[in-house]
Amino acid sequence: MNTIDLRSDTVTVPTPEMREAMATAVVGDDVYGEDPTINELEATAAEMLGKEAALFVVSGTMGNLTSVLTHCGRGDEMILGKQSHIFRYEVASAAAYGGIQPNTIPVLPDGTMNLDDIRDNIRGENSHFPTTRLICLENTHGGAVGAPVTAAYVAQVAEIARANHLKLHVDGARLFNAAAALNTPARELVEHADSVSICLSKGLCAPVGSVIVGSREFIHRAHRVRKSLGGGMRQAGILAAAGLIALRQMTQRLHEDHANARLLAEGLAQLPGIDIDLNSVKTNMIFFALKPDAPLSIEELSEQLKVKYNILMRPYSVQDRSVRVVTHYWIRQEHVTAILHALRELLAPNYQRLASD
């Protein structure tokens, strides 16, 4: 990869080993349950996450939507973070296809929601009210700079859910990043969840796919929902072959991405014109902003990085002059050095001239 692409960990292309496994995968018709590679992927995901069963789905959005539609009926309500992916970035699909009303709560900088806020938003018995059915958490939380959410917090939310006869879904698109950052097995992070969605195609490098896990009974019903959403695939073992490598191997190396994010963040903090909260960098995500005295705007910065250095970053908020950066498998330590060098040239041209004098 000549381009240093920091826009997201979704840009990861499959590794040569994945391509090899895909080429040689044993396949069958998964709609008949006859694709051995899909079956192996689902069994592996269920085992790793400590649940009875699993289901391979096309994307993280389909994983969340399938789960939410399996838990809730029309006119039901789900409680979730206002900064959550499900609420912000999934095209209101739960409302559009399931008639499910979101009841949002602010997400705190640590990726959690206040427990009293959750309790206060659960509807009581009243013929005017929607029925609360579900609480959704996100781990790591993309709306909170990729903050990992602890097993202890998830257990507390699960207790509230159980006491109120609600289900708990965890959007764990980057759950294994949380596991790596907290040094906690992923299965402990979701021990008390009724359903979990994980992405294979973000930091785990697989080209396509997500997996949802839960009880056998939940997955049985989710299977029908997936089919109704058009997610019944045939010889998809070709994709699952990469997914197996993602689960078995790529989950083991995510701490490297976190170390590179940390290295990059510490370098950024040394540069003039950059505002960054080092405490917020906990996994593979960094947000930084340009200070008012920076010599160029956020759009100019990202344009120059692209044109001059082949470095891609995503301007996050033009108003706040902020940028999001995500590290992943294809970003190595030498890239971090190159990124910092480029930023120094753009933000501190005088420093450069002195340094090279």
Ligand X SMILES: *Cc1c(COP(=O)(O)O)cnc(C)c1O
Q: What amino acid occupies position 163?
A: A
**Matching residue, tokens 């896990």:** 213
Nearer to ligand X, 203 or 267 (CB): 203
Nearer to ligand X, 170 or 241 (CB): 170
User: Taking a C-beta distance cutoff of 8 angstroms, is the pair 8, 22 a contact?
Assistant: no
**CA-CA distance, 285 to 203, in Å (whole number)?**
11
Question: Least separation, in Å, of the C-beta of 261 and ligand X?
Answer: 15
Question: Least separation, in Å, of the C-beta of 229 and ligand X?
Answer: 12
Nearer to ligand X, 62 or 343 (CB): 62
Compute the 3-state secondary structure of the chain and give helix, strand, coil in percent, each to the nearest 5.
Answer: 50, 20, 35
DSSP code for 142? G
Nearer to ligand X, 28 or 207 (CB): 207
| CA-angle at 225, arms to 210 and 21, nearest 5° | 30
Point out which residues pair with 55 in neighbouring strands.
212
Nearer to ligand X, 290 or 323 (CB): 323
User: Taking a C-beta distance cutoff of 8 angstroms, is the pair 264, 340 a contact?
Assistant: yes
Q: Is the peptide bond before 140 cis (omega within 30 degrees of 0)?
A: yes
Question: Least separation, in Å, of the C-beta of 171 and ligand X?
Answer: 5
Question: Least separation, in Å, of the C-beta of 60 and ligand X?
Answer: 2
Nearer to ligand X, 6 or 173 (CB): 173
Question: Least separation, in Å, of the C-beta of 329 and ligand X?
Answer: 16
* Residue 156 phi, psi dihedral angles, 5° rounding: -65, -40
Question: Least separation, in Å, of the C-beta of 88 and ligand X?
Answer: 10
Query: Where does this chain bind ligand X (CB under 6 A)?
Result: 59-61, 64, 85, 138, 142, 171, 173, 199, 210
Closest CB to ligand X belongs to which residue?
60
